[in-house]
Structure 1
Amino acid sequence: MEFTALTVNIANHVATVTLNRPDVRNAFNETVIAELTGAFRALGDMDEVRAIVLAGNGPAFCAGADLNWMKKMAGYSDDQNRADALTLAQMLHTIWSCPRPVIARIQGDTYAGGMGLVAACDIAVAAEHAHFCLSEARLGLLPATISPYVIRAMGEQAARRYFITAERFDAAEALRLGLLHAVVPAEALDAKVAELTAALVANSPNAVRESKRLVQDIAGRAIDNDLLADTAERIAKIRASEEGREGVKSFLEKRTPSWRPA
């Protein structure tokens, strides 16, 4: 894969996708959107990849939309605007639905659309100095395409406040709201991400993939007979799977399962 706005590296079953436009605080435009979509689709299909880290180069994780891109959009027709917005929505959904677990490594400030990137990931870890802002209302805009993920991540009540106030808040508040899973000193960020990727790689790739899908499919559903049948079917299917049988067998035999790296 060749990119102009990203770097992608794969080592020890972990792919690291890095936003690489530090001169504009990793703001995204049509190129970034297309490359992120392509990268996550490709990595999601690679059996060797068991986890993906989404990172940013430079002082900011992602400042949202590139100003030059926004200026160009001002001259778009209604159809062009809709099509352009849909590509952003599809990119976020590609990250959210990627069959590999995705960790956001947040080394700096994250604004507007960058919040959508974080919320679309499965796990989010930030340096304690990072700040966050849903800044769209300041510009007369709204966080529409990112809203499905941000509302799920930080909750409806918090979204009500921060969507309309556009207040800046720190990593500790983001952790309290549930947007983040861990906040660490900047010098400990890589170690924390490595700890999490090691945990992911040690687990059954199939179980991790199906567990991610399970949360997405079950969250918010009514607990009724259809749901009971669905969850029973899922556990029955994975018990009979190759990795399911291997996991139970290796546990009983007190040995390392076949999928775990030496």
Structure 2
Amino acid sequence: MEAYVTLTIEDNVGFVEFFHPNRNSMPSDVLLKLEQTIIEAGNNDSAKVIVLKSGGDRTFCAGASFNEVIEIDNETSGKQFFLGFANVVNAMRKCPKLIIGRVQGKTVGGGVGLAAATDYCLATQYASIRLSELSIGIGPFVIEPAVSRKIGVAAMSQMTIDAETFFTSAFAKEKGLYAEVFETTKGLDEAVNELAKKLASYNPEALNEMKKVFWKGTENWDDLLEERAEISGKLVLSKFTKDTLKRFR
């Protein structure tokens, strides 16, 4: 199957779905399309609330595409790649609609950032999380503001330092990343659909105003995440990172 990003609107709910055959990893073209689709959904009057989901039954998102990252050969292209994640996070926080996250399986690196940038996130028991960036020679710089804002600096630091460990969905719920955890994907989907339909029936003006309240204090993120993308863009050129990524290619 080929990578895709789609927007489907049903009963005033906009379902934004992304997919990549390599465990839903995120190359730059998918990131760009995801950013554009979130903006499109936010501007579509037929969608009163948005659900962010990924295709497939297993991994929610494997983070950055290692195959693309290993080809980066200068700071400009490095910064540009990581700006892809920054732009998606910023599109989510500036979207006028509430975004519900639907996390069906494991999520790594930038995928954790996507979950953290939703306004309300539901998951299955299999949705463990890992911030593996330090182990490959970079760091979760771009997504850190979103993750720290959701689970706190202490939990963010723990995950960042223990970079080779998958933390359980129970940990993610305890720290506030997930609002609820379900035993099955069926149970997850039922809960997501019920919540989305309920929110879509509420006053859209009230939802929009609450979204502004939820994200108060993040007005500097356009600049902040660009600065973080520049840091990652430099570090990805290191010999350590290049050698490490070759093992995963």
TM-score bracket, shorter-length normalisation:
0.7 to 0.9
Which stretches of structure 1, 4 residues or more, deviate above 6 A after TM superposition? none
Structural mapping, 1:65-144, within 5 Å: 65-73=64-72, 75=73, 77-144=74-141
In the other structure, the counterpart of 2:234 is: none
Compute the displacement of 1:218 (Å): 6.1
Provide the residue aligned with 1:11 in structure 2: 10
Q: Relative contact order (C-alpha < 8 Å, sep 6+): which is higher?
A: 2
Deviation, 1:4, is: 5.1
Q: What percentage of residue pairs aligned between the two structures are identical? A: 31
Deviations 1:179-232 (A, max 9, x none): 11110121301111012102211210010011110121269xxxxxxxxxxxxx
**Residue in 2 that maps onto 1:145:** 142
SS in 2 for 1:24: coil
Could you tell me which of 145, 157, 160 is aligned with 1:160?
A: 157
- Write the deviation string for residues 33-80 of structure 1: whole angstroms up to 9, x where unpaired: 11011101111111111111111112110010112111122x2x1122
Distance of 1:138 and 1:218 partners within structure 2: 31
Query: Within 1, Cα distance between the matches of 2:135 and 2:120?
Result: 28
Q: Deviations over 1:113-140 (max 9, x none)?
A: 1001000100110011221101111111
Deviations 1:65-115 (A, max 9, x none): 112111122x2x112222332232122110122111111101111001100
- 8 A contact 2:5–2:37 mirrored in 1: no
In structure 1, distance between residues paired with 2:103 and 2:204: 25
Whether contact under 8 Å (1:7, 1:20) holds in the other structure is no
Counterpart code for 2:97:
R
Of the candidates 3, 25, 28, which is equivalent to residue 26 of structure 2? 28
Match of 1:48 among 46, 49, 53: 46
Structure 1 SS opposite 2:63? coil
Residue 203 of structure 1 corresponds to which residue in structure 2?
A: 202
Partner of 1:183: 181
Find the aligned partners of 1:157 and 1:151 in 2 and give their Cα distance: 8
Under a length normalisation based on structure 2, what TM-score does the superposition of the two structures give? 0.82
Please say which structure displays the higher CA radius of gyration: 1
Deviations 1:117-168 (A, max 9, x none): 0001001100112211011111111001101100001101111111111121
Amino acid at match of 2:77: Q
Cα separation, 2, equivalents of 1:216 and 1:7: 25
Calculate the TM-score normalised by the size of structure 1: 0.78
Task: Report if the CA contact (8 A) 1:7-1:18 is conserved.
Answer: yes
The aligned residue for residue 235 of structure 2 is none
Q: 2 CA distance for matches of 1:93 and 1:85?
A: 13
> 2:140 & 2:198 partners in 1: Cα distance?
33
Structure 2 CA distance, aligned partners of 1:4 and 1:67?
Answer: 15
Unmatched 5+ residue regions in structure 2? 219-249
Specify the SS of the correspondent of 1:175: helix
